[in-house]
Amino acid sequence: MSSGSGGATGWGPAGEGSGPGPAGAGGARAFTAVVNPISGGGRAPARWEPIAALLRAGGATVRTELTRGREHAIECAEAAAERGEVVVAVGGDGLVRDAADGAVRTGGTFSLVPAGRGNDLARMLGFPSDAPALARLLLDGPTRAVDVLDVNGVIAPGNVYIGIDAVATQLINAGRGLPALLLYRLAPVRAILGWRAAGYTLTVDGERSEVRAHTVVVANSGAYGHGLRIVPPARVDDGLLDVMVVGDGPRSRIVSFMQEVKRGTHVRRPEVSLRTAREVLVDADRPVPVCADGDEVTTLPARIRLLPGALTMITP
């Protein structure tokens, strides 16, 4: 997918905490589901149908939009938010990113139904998986303000990663049809075989440095890779980016690194550095893919800014 055409400017913190969110004429919330028809092996529409029925039974107005691509998803979300409806992303992390983009741009209220392969943001935030619990959450759950990232004008609620894990993401997206967990575990191994460390130039809150590294992660949620906490300290509402750099070393170490990620002990390795920031500019000495929340979204140089509290979200 290509990057958005415009930069994200002028967005302040969204409203916090206790409000019920947009409501229809009868007082219940009104919803537009932005559904990716190919998410979850094509099962996302069927995943949404029983939830929509429960919402209607609860007095809510419900619309459903099947997306035709990134820009269409953003447009559907913007239109729904402008009507005062809750935008519900029904799909994987990529669709969540795109629908959240539209909600942020219009100041709308957002939520999600996990229906993709990774569902990392939903898992990290503790979203339920069964239809009745999801319907109850959408009807009555509280709203909270969460931070988002802006990478070259693309809004992402999760993470931006630039390096070997972005190459693995390319392989995952080329392997649709394979079992998700198998694909998420095999793709990094394949990525290692053809990878060599890149020379990165990082400008972190105005401080410039150069490093040879396997990857640079700028995290908001810290979770990706089908349930892995890649950047454990990251939080979606702390007003900070978490920047993790995995420095150069033998490729054989990457295999053990992947095992340690499952336990969260990888951050203790000497080649791993962590720091917080509010804006990061990343460039490299060769083309390296730039991915955010499951898709390649732009090219280097990548300017990544935090938009604190910019997304109002119904969450558990």
- How high is the pLDDT of residue 255? 74
Cα Rg of the chain, angstroms? 19
Which of 63, 31, 43, 24 lies closest to 135 in space, CA to CA?
A: 31
Task: Write out pLDDT tens, residues 164-179.
Answer: 999 999 998 887 777 7
Computed over every residue of the chain, the mean pLDDT equals 90
Task: Answer yes or no: are the C-beta atoms of 69 and 50 closer than 8 Å.
Answer: no
Q: Domain coordinates of the chain in residue numbers? A: 30-141, 156-306
pLDDT tops 80 at residue 20: no
30-141 belongs to which CATH class? alpha beta
% of the chain at pLDDT higher than 70: 92
What fold does the segment set 156-306 form as a domain? Tumour Suppressor Smad4 (2.60.200)
Lowest mean pLDDT among 9-23, 187-201, 301-315: 9-23
Can you give the pLDDT at residue 227?
83
- pLDDT above 90 as % of the chain: 76
Whether 292 has a pLDDT exceeding 80, the answer reads yes
Per-residue pLDDT tens over the stretch 46-73: 999 999 999 999 999 999 999 999 999 9
Query: What mean pLDDT comes out for the span 270-278?
Result: 97
β-strand pairing of 290-292 with 86-91: unpaired
Segment 74-122, tens digit of pLDDT: 999 999 999 999 999 999 999 999 999 999 999 999 999 999 988 999 9
Q: In the prediction, which pLDDT does 26 show?
A: 56
CA angle 272, 278, 281 (to 5 degrees): 70
User: Per-residue pLDDT averaged across 280-297, rounded?
Assistant: 97
Given a contact cutoff of 8 angstroms between Cβ atoms, the answer to whether 152 and 101 are in contact is no
At 15 the pLDDT is 45
Reported as a pLDDT band with limits 50, 70 and 90, residue 24 is: low
Residue-level pLDDT at 79: 98
* Rounded CA separation 188/170 (Å): 10
